[in-house]
Amino acid sequence: MKALLDRARSFKRRVDFESGEYQRLAEGQYPEALFITCSDSRVIPALITGARPGEIFELRNAGNIVPPHGGQGASGEAATIEYALEVLGVQDIVVCGHSHCGAMGALKSGDDLSALPGVDAWLQLARPRLAPVLDGDVADPRMPDVSQLNVVNQLAALRSYPSARRRLDTGRLRLHGWYYEVDTGRVQELDEDGLFRVHAA
């Protein structure tokens, strides 16, 4: 914690606040994309994408899960998606799953989550549609089959949001599925044929 605190205290000295970039950011934000990914500390959207401040609007939670539209009660995820589309007008949404995901690992291994009722209830949102890939041992700790299917499922959940569906129907919104490998840094992109592939830069 001391290192984090020291870097926070020296932030103003390490960044050029005189350049005008941060003054422009103070006037408003105009991100290019909404980036939905896991809370995992090893997945850093700005590091992966090289984004500068103000370029991506982030939504992070355990397992990069998008609750279906119309769920009960208030939802930070629904509020963030609605704000990104209706107020910020983002034209691209990325759902980025990743290797070695604790949330997907808990589902795959059938962990007893009774001591973590909040986690258990949250993962219930993803469990039913992942059933086809949850049987069997965890042969590959990266679990690409589970994490990638989860990305596909969350993109489908996004399409249940009226604000997203309207924009998709009129060509004002593009959805992207990514799978990030923690141990290699590779990003695989979901193609139209339903397969994830690494594309040349």
Q: What is the predicted pLDDT for the residue at 140?
A: 74
CA atoms within 13 Å, Cβ hemisphere of 105: 11
Q: What is the predicted pLDDT for the residue at 137?
A: 66
Q: What is the predicted pLDDT for the residue at 159?
A: 97
Q: What is the predicted pLDDT for the residue at 93?
A: 98
Q: Are 119 and 106 in contact (CB under 8 A)?
A: yes
CA 38 to chain centre: 5
CB-based burial of residue 171 (10 Å sphere; 0-12 exposed, 13-18 middle, 19+ buried)? exposed
Question: Three-class SS of residue 26?
Answer: helix
DSSP state letter for 72: S
Q: What is the predicted pLDDT for the residue at 113?
A: 95
Mean pLDDT by 10 residues, the chain (201 residues): 91 83 90 98 97 97 95 87 97 97 93 95 95 79 90 97 97 98 96 94 77
Q: 33-38 and 174-180 as β-strands: parallel, antiparallel, unpaired?
A: unpaired
Q: Which two tokens stand for residue 186?
A: 């590779």
Residue 69 CA to residue 157 CA, distance in Å, equals 7
Q: What is the predicted pLDDT for the residue at 22?
A: 86
Q: What is the predicted pLDDT for the residue at 28?
A: 93
Residue 97 CA to residue 189 CA, distance in Å, equals 10
Comparing CA positions, the residue from 50, 56, 16, 48 lying closest to residue 187 is 48
Q: Treating both helix axes as pointing N-terminal to C-terminal, what angle do 76-86 and 162-169 enclose, rounded to 10 degrees?
A: 30
